[in-house]
Amino acid sequence: MARRRRRPARRAGAAAEWTAFHEWGPEWASPGEPSGERRRLRHRTDWLSLLGGLLFIGIGIRFIAGPPADPVTMLAVLLTGLAFAGLVAVIVTAARGRR
């Protein structure tokens, strides 16, 4: 019969230390904070992805719901929408300040 190896014991605060330095880690895991506080996740919204996804969903609904649209017009709408989403993402990134 083979002997089973034991895993090394993990430190209790290792996860808290790791998540404290990652922007999407839970706030309650930060060292030194009381454990009774409200638990919520910290993460930043990726506005480019969100607006780009909404644009593609809207274009898809447009193609399904109505008569065929002019491809040149839809290409212009797509490029304008992506440009707007990129502009919003740049403004939000500049307003937050890059760490």
- Using CA atoms, how far apart are residues 48 and 31, in angstroms rounded to an integer? 32
Q: Look at residue 89 and tell me whether its pLDDT is greater than 60.
A: yes
Q: How do residues 8-57 score in pLDDT, each as one tens digit?
A: 655 656 666 666 555 555 555 555 555 555 556 677 889 899 999 999 99
For the segment 54-81, the average pLDDT, to the nearest whole number, is 92
User: Is the model's pTM score more than 0.85?
Assistant: no
* Residue 26 backbone dihedrals phi, psi, to 5 degrees: -70, 140
Would you state the pLDDT for residue 29?
A: 52
Buried b (16+ CB within 10 A) or exposed e, 20-56: beeeebeebbeeeeeeeeeeeeeeeeebbeebbeebe
